[in-house]
Structure 1
Amino acid sequence: MPNRKISEVIGHRPFPSITKSTSVRDAAIIMREWQSSAVLILEDGLLIGICTERDIVFRVVAQACDPSLIQVGTIMTCDVQTIHSSKPFGHALHLMYEGGFRHLPVIDWRGRPIGLLAAHDALDADGLQMEQELVRREEITVIL
């Protein structure tokens, strides 16, 4: 699992994206619709930031601000760490651990976002590996 390429982990899975002028409330609605705890902020197809549940809670809710009146551009995390799709998944997990974040935008060779990794992707991959192992053991049991 750690040696799998990131491109294999994310496949062609779509990811949520918005502009910096989107309200925080609308961003939260999009996150709910996509069942995602983060959304990428794009401008002309380029990544300019990321907005996560933590950004919304710490920078809007905890400050008693109205999410309908705040634009995502004012609370998003800028200078986002990214990773190329050809890198190993284990490298992405290491970057997330070291950086203390749970989301990592994936970019292509042009630097354009093509996906969004989340820490829970590690659990999904482990689950798939465990399922494959169970099937293999069942097949061996049938043979014996």
Structure 2
Amino acid sequence: MPTRPIHAVMRPEHLVVADAKQSVRDVVHLMAKHDANAVMITEHGILTGIFTEHDATFSVLAADVDADATPVAEVMTHNPMTIAPDHPFVHALHMMYEGGFRHVPVVDQDRRPIGLVAATDALNLDAREFGADLERREEITVIL
């Protein structure tokens, strides 16, 4: 499972992108619309940051920041660590563990966002493999 390349793990619904000039409130509404825990922030299509639910809680709400007047660029995580789509998923998991974060943007060679992987993706893969294993066992039981 962890040896799968990133592009095999990425889920299209995780690709939510916003412009750095958008207000925090607009980006949070975008997160709610897409049921996303993180949004990749770009300037001219190039990844410059990531805004997560953690940022919304601690850098906006707890800091009493005006969500309507503040551009997301002021409270996002700047220059996040990224990964290429052909790297193994275990590399992303290691990055998250070592860095203490839960999301890694997947970018092309020009730093344009193409996906996002999250720590929860490991659980999703395990659950799918567990379900497939159960189905195989049931099929074997029927045959026997």
Could you state the TM-score of these two structures normalised by the residue count of structure 1?
0.94
C-alpha displacement at 1:14, in angstroms?
Answer: 5.4
Asked whether 1:130 is paired with 2:105, we answer no
The percentage of counterpart residues that share the same residue type is 47
TM-align CA RMSD: 1.3
Q: Deviations over 1:52-91 (max 9, x none)?
A: 1111111111112221111101001112100010011111
1:110 Cα shift?
A: 3.5
Off by >3 Å, runs of 4+ in structure 1:
11-14
Say whether residues 1:38 and 2:35 are aligned partners.
Answer: no
Q: After the TM superposition, which of the residue ranges 97-106 and 13-22 deviates more from structure 2? A: 13-22
Q: Deviations over 1:81-132 (max 9, x none)?
A: 0001001111111110110001100012343210011111111111111011
Asked if residue 114 in structure 1 is aligned to residue 114 in structure 2, the reply is: yes
Opposite residue 30 of structure 2, the aligned amino acid is I
User: How many residues are matched?
Assistant: 144
Match of 1:98 in 2: 98
Question: Hey, what's the Cα distance between the residues in 2 that align with 1:112 and 1:121?
Answer: 21
Q: Which whole-Å CA distance do the structure 1 matches of 2:110 and 2:63 have between them? A: 38
The one-letter amino acid of 2:104's match is: L
Counterpart residue type for residue 45 of structure 1 = G
Mapped partners of 1:66, 1:111: distance in 2: 30
Structure 1 residues not aligned, in runs of 5+ = none
For structure 2, the 5+ residue unaligned runs are none
Q: Aligned partner of 1:124: which letter?
A: N
